[in-house]
Amino acid sequence: MTHICFVRHGQTDWNLRGKLQGQTDIPLNETGKRQAEECRDALKNHRWDVLITTSLQRAKKTAEIINGDLNLDMIEMDHFKERFFGEGEGMLREEREKHYPAFTFPNMESYEELVARVQTGLRDIHALYPDRKVLVVAHGAVINALIREYHEDISGLQHVKLQNGCFTDIQFKDGKWFVRSYNQIGHLTEMV
């Protein structure tokens, strides 16, 4: 059975300020680096076969810090890159709610496009690493889409407030993916 632990990247200054990042390439802040270290410490006593990250620097840096003790092959895969929010990127929550209360921005990637991209990535992982344990450093909208699409009981799960540095576990079993747990934060000392 293929097992994937999705790790949400550590905090950035835009996360802290409530700015919508999307695919804008923002680095980790000091809190984000500490969160990545705490993820590393929580993950290092388990066996993992491969570490996948996106090309965005906040995910790559989180993955590099996690990999400090794991020494895994690190692969870049942009199927799990953050959703593109078009003209909404860089906007503060108040601006978004005022100008786009439906959270639909000009030129943004549709939910269906996001899900198709993520599903392609899951198929690739399952084909390349069947019955392996895979770490994937990814982004909030991607992980939310996984929860929404593969959790057995999605009532109330249309959007989960995911903490930076949280873990979400999914497995491929009996021909389908399912979410085992999400937004696991017991390893983190600082939540925002």
187 is catalytic: no
pLDDT at 190: 74
Enter the pTM of the model. 0.95
Q: Which of 3, 38, 79, 82 is catalytic?
A: 82
169 closest CA partner among 138, 124, 191: 138
For the chain, the domains span 2-84+113-184
Q: Which of 9, 79, 139, 151 is catalytic?
A: 9
- pLDDT grade, residue 1 (50/70/90)? confident
The larger pLDDT score, comparing residue 122 to residue 159, is at 122
Q: Does domain 2-84+113-184 have CATH number 2.30.38.10?
A: no
Q: Are strands 167-173 and 133-138 parallel, antiparallel or unpaired?
A: unpaired
46 is catalytic: no
pLDDT digits (tens, 9 = 90+) for 42-85: 999 999 999 999 999 999 999 999 999 999 999 999 999 999 99
Say how far apart CA 131 and CA 113 lie, in whole Å: 27
Q: Are strands 176-184 and 74-76 parallel, antiparallel or unpaired?
A: unpaired
